[in-house]
A and B are shown apart, each in its own frame.
Chain A
Amino acid sequence: MKAALLIILGTIVLSAALGVYAGSRVKMNLENWTVGGRRFGVIIMWLLMAGEIYTTFTFLGASGWAYSRGAPTFYILIYGTLAYTVSFFIMPAIWKVGQRHGLHTQPDFFIHRYQSRGLGLLVAAIGVLCILPYLQLQLTGLGLIVEVASEGAIGSKTAILISFILTCLFVYTSGLRGTAWVAIIKDIMMIAAVGIVGFGVPHIYFGGFGPMFRALLAKHPGHLTFPGASPGMSTPWVMSTALLTGLGFYMWPHVFASAFSAKSAQTIKRNAIIMPFYQIPILLVLMVGFTALLVIPGLKNGDMAFLEIVRVTYPSWFLGFVGAAGAVTAMVPSSVLVLFAATLLAKNIYKSLLAPQASETTVLRLSRILVLIIMVLALCLAFYYPQALVNLLLIGYNGVSQFFPGVVFGLFWKKVNRQAVFCGLLAGFGLAAALVFSGHDPLLGMNAGFVALILNTVVTVMLSLLTQK
């Protein structure tokens, strides 16, 4: 247990130190802080993207879904692949606009393309609204992982507090560069942990993947085809959800902005080509969830399946290693989330609404202060009102996906205009929220966000055609 403790704390501190160091050799301005000076090559982009994509959800959520829902969890393998394919076609174009006009954020793109501050404000507001619950989820996830992995030696609140003060520190000093460097540690540890456990447990208990699946099918015949153990999640749900999240993935403000940090359009294309290989660790995580269903059935909370099976299978120092990997896995995405929430608030809401004359230095100073404020806010929520944002989380993907028509038409269709995009976005976001909160998700077997995206697209296209001169 001592060893586990040392590994967890050592990793967290070392990561933060590396993050701070990463920014110490560059003179910080807004460009360096938010988009890493637009100088990232293929390798650092790969690390950064892996850093952003694998959140605590990868560890806990995906294995939890495999454990308690079965086949519907395959949508995770699918949507990532669709998202990378989409990125191959749209991200280089976004990079170009960003490079030519010095854009830093997603609302910057909308403001530039549609010459509309109002649209920029709406995009920024929806973006922040979707980021905050996601950030809190990382905090809660980290607390849970460290508490279990240290077998109670570090309490959940202590873990959250330590790691997030350190995360604030390296975001404050180094910005996106800090994230990219810490992502190196995170990616190595995460891939090692998932690789060892993902190959390990099916072999230890069943002698391989094949026999494990045979045993699973014998015991739960319907688990590996849709709808698995979730009657609401049959094939139309999987199809619509994979499409929605595949199209929506690059619409997350922080993922969208990753296009701006690449050094060339070629870098982005090459990166998109190798990205589907990111799905290998996810596949292994699913194997762990399936194995756990057979070895430790009856868990009350399926999200604990990964940690629980590690705990009963491996020595405690290895559990500590997995916990450490889980902790950095929460820190890295949190750092980008908080960075972009702060930049959206400072640049696209404060500056564009209240102080159009504010200089970049002022925006940077304000963004850095906002990093601290947002983190304190997220900490308070995680500690005192852990349920407050659960509802918002439900509409996270549904919300950001509604940016898709505005972005894609904006890039490739001359006739689209600001009124059409504004109305489409409001209609899509409104419908998604209404359906989710009134308990109509899924609707007719399909993901409610997908239905909303269709409405959004239709409204955008119709209004663009009707209002053109």
Chain B
Amino acid sequence: MTKGKRLALALGAIPFLTLVFALPLVNRVEPVILGLPFILFWIILWVFLTPFILMIAYRIEKKFDGPQGAEDR
């Protein structure tokens, strides 16, 4: 596996860590943030950060593997 792909996969693991494996830690109402119970705030936060995480992964693949390498998966 190339360096770009390794880094991209590591980034791709973030939504799984935050939205699945962290759930037991965030299953609570307090603190209420922006009017949202904490659990819902946490989920929305990571749902909306994911596109940016994937964009960085896309850029990193291109940078380390070249445009061809980034397609070659």
Contact = CB atoms under 8 A, between A and B. Distances in A.
Interface in A72-117: 74, 77-78, 81-82, 84-85, 88-89, 92-93
Describe A's contact surface by its main secondary structure.
helix
B60 interface: no
Nearest to A92: B73
Interface string A254-288: 00000000001110011011111101000100000
B71 A226 contact: no
A85 B54 contact: yes
Contact of A84 (B34, B46, B50, B71): B50
Interface string A29-65: 0000000000000000000000000000000000000
A273 B27 contact: no
A208 B35 CA distance: 9
Interface in B35-73: 35-37, 39-40, 43-44, 46-48, 50-51, 54-55, 57-58, 70-71, 73
B58 A269 contact: yes
Contact of A209 (B29, B36, B46, B51): B36
Contacts of B23: 226, 235, 238-239
A273 B51 contact: yes
B37 A82 contact: no
Contacts of A226: 23, 27, 39
A185 interface: no
Contact of A85 (B12, B27, B44): B12
Contacts of A235: 23-24, 27
A283 B36 contact: no
Contacts of B12: 85, 88-89
A224 B54 contact: no
Nearest to B54: A273
A153 B16 CA distance: 47
A78 B37 contact: no
Contacts of B51: 273-277
B44 A81 contact: no
Nearest to B13: A85
B46 to A, nearest CB: 7
Contacts of A85: 12, 15-16, 50, 54
Nearest to A95: B71
Contacts of B28: 225
Contact of A74 (B43, B48, B70): B43
A217 interface: yes
Nearest to B35: A210
A102 B32 CA distance: 52
Contacts of A279: 47
A226 B26 CA distance: 10
Given A88-B57, A224-B39, A225-B37, A82 B15 contact: yes
Nearest to B48: A276
A8 to B, nearest CB: 32
A273 B58 contact: yes
A126 B11 CA distance: 33
Interface in B1-35: 8-9, 12, 15-16, 19-21, 23-24, 27-29, 32, 34-35
A77 B21 contact: no
Interface in A186-238: 208-211, 213-214, 217, 224-226, 235, 238
Interface of A: 71, 74, 77-78, 81-82, 84-85, 88-89, 92-93, 208-211, 213-214, 217, 224-226, 235, 238-239, 242-243, 264-266, 269-270, 272-277, 279, 283
8 contacts: A74-B39, A82-B19, A84-B50, A88-B57, A209-B35, A217-B37, A264-B71, A266-B71
